[in-house]
Amino acid sequence: MAYQLNDSDAKVLVTLDAIFAARLVKVHERLPQLKVVVAASWLAIGPPPSSTFLPSSKCFWPTPSSRPWTTAGWSAASAPRRRFPPPESRKDLEEVVGAGKLLEVYGMTETAPLTTMNPAAGPKKLGSIGLPLINTELKLVDPGTGTLVPLGEPGEICVRGPQVMVGYYKKPEETAKAIDKEGFMHTGDVAVMDADGYLRIVDRTKDMVIVSGFKVFSKKVEEVLAAHPAVGMIAIVGIANPLRPGSELVKACIQKAPGFASEDDDALKADLLQFAKDKLAPYEVPKEIEFLEGLPMTSVGKIDKKQLRKT
């Protein structure tokens, strides 16, 4: 399993392009032994004393004596929507590397870094981040009240275990916000647990839009609209509803797909709205659409939704 990768000269390939990872796998003919770990957060293993350098400034391949592992990583909720592989892309990747060799996992820097993963030997659910790791306690709570949510309902992932950090260095107030008195790390990621205990991320707590008391998961709306041919990149944010204090409206910020031509933006907006109405609940459909030349990005390559909310 990924967290047991402990050979002294072991190295993993870290890339945002899972298909590129698959091509490298095929070129180097390591399919019989390979496990591909697609992480919902980044996964990094320290530099090895020696390795074979591939024709990419950011990629390494293990030496023959090391375990052959590859990982492709992305942010679960904040990465540019076109860079988050949809289910069909993940199925395509499995066709290249072999059935059962794609393991989706989840973690964050503060949890060093994994908390859940699909079993290496056992049932796997594509699109799920799997089950809690051994010695890891996990619960889903209502972000507003802190109470446990019923099975099948969305809640914030809270984790307690030996991999959870002690705290942020010399930042006791930030530590207290992240880790509660019971020792649970509040991740800010919202997930749903099914009857088998497998988790599926649906959003970030800060990205949920509250529409007249209904919770709108931005990730869901983004994935629906990203399927429209006009959409290159998309971010869903909540904006204040002037007619309902305390409530929000759903706004879609869209960068058009390269090469897509449209002389009538109003007609395109109408088409996008109808596209959304056919697939989403009425309260999930954007009330405002804005086309941008480019979406603002953070220093780590995530869409800067905070900046979009200001515009």
CATH of residue 264 = 3.30.300.30
What per-residue confidence (pLDDT) applies to 248? 96
- How distant, in Å, are the alpha carbons of 160, 212, 247, 270 from that of 209? 27, 10, 9, 22
Q: Which parts of the chain are beta strand (E)?
A: 14-15, 35-39, 52-53, 60-61, 69-73, 102-107, 114-117, 131-132, 137-141, 155-160, 185-193, 199-204, 209-211, 214-216, 231-240, 248-256, 288-291
pLDDT above 80: residue 207: yes
172 with 263, same domain: the answer is no
Determine, yes or no, domain membership for 123.
no
Asked if 107 and 183 sit in the same domain, the reply is no
How many CB atoms are closer than 10 A to CB 219? 20
| Any domain includes 122 | no
pLDDT average, residue stretch 165-189? 96
- Burial environment of residue 13 by CB neighbours within 10 A (0 to 12, 13 to 18, 19 or more): buried
Tens-place pLDDT, residues 288-307 = 999 999 999 998 888 999 99
> What CATH number corresponds to the domain at position 170?
2.30.38.10
Q: Whole-prediction pTM value?
A: 0.70
Taking only the tens place, the pLDDT of each residue in 266-285 is 999 999 999 999 999 999 99
Mean pLDDT of 146-169: 95
Whether the Cβ atoms of residue 250 and residue 216 lie closer than 8 Å to each other: yes
Report for 10-19, 20-29, 121-130: range of highest mean pLDDT: 121-130
Per-residue pLDDT, 23 = 53
61 near 51, Cβ under 8 Å? yes
Same-domain check for residues 113 and 11:
yes
> Residue 181: is its pLDDT beyond 60?
yes
Average pLDDT over every residue of 101-109:
89
Instruction: Say if 215 falls within a structural domain.
Output: yes
At residue 177, the pLDDT reads 95
Give one word for 152, left, alpha or beta, with left for phi > 0 and alpha for psi -120 to 50.
left
Mean pLDDT taken over the chain: 78
Q: Residue 208 — very low, low, confident or very high, per pLDDT cuts 50/70/90?
A: very high
Residues 111 and 89 in one domain: yes
Query: Do the domain assignments include residue 112?
Result: yes
- Condensed to tens digits (0 to 9), the pLDDT of residues 209-235 reads 999 999 999 999 999 999 999 999 999
- What pLDDT is attached to residue 292? 95
Domain's final residue, options 117, 152, 174: 117
Amino acid making up residue 108? M
In the predicted model, what is the mean pLDDT of residues 172-178? 96
pLDDT of residue 86: 58
- 175 and 234 share a domain? no
Q: Is residue 163 part of a domain?
A: yes
* H/E run at residue 21: helix 18-27
Closest CA to 188 of 280, 84, 75: 75
Rounded CA-CA distance 67/65 in Å is: 7
- Give the DSSP letter of residue 83: G
Judge whether 157 lies within some domain.
Answer: yes
Q: Is the pLDDT of residue 40 over 70?
A: no
Residue 194 sits in the same domain as residue 96? no
Handedness of CA 202, 206, 207, 213 (dihedral sign): positive
Contacts of 116 by beta carbon, 8 Å cutoff, 6+ apart: 105, 106, 107, 129, 130, 131, 132, 133, 136, 138, 199
Q: Which of 117, 148, 166 is the last residue of a domain?
A: 117
Is the same domain home to 105 and 12? yes
Instruction: Give the residue from 117, 145, 175 where a domain finishes.
Output: 117
Reported as a pLDDT band with limits 50, 70 and 90, residue 55 is: very low
User: 102 versus 45: which is more confidently predicted?
Assistant: 102
Residues 169 and 64 in one domain: no
What letter would DSSP give residue 284? G
Residues 288 and 225 in one domain: yes
Residue 68 has pLDDT above 50, yes or no: no
Residue 34: pLDDT over 90? no
Same-domain status, 152 and 214 = no
The domain in which residue 93 lies consists of 2-117
pLDDT at 21: 52
Which sign does the torsion angle of CA 42, 43, 46, 49 carry? negative
Q: Is residue 148 part of a domain?
A: yes
Say how far apart CA 301 and CA 295 lie, in whole Å: 11
Is residue 193 assigned to a domain? Answer: yes
Q: How confident is the model at residue 121 (pLDDT cuts 50, 70, 90)?
A: confident
110 and 6 together in one domain: yes
CB 141 within 8 A of CB 153: no
- Give the chain's domain count: 3
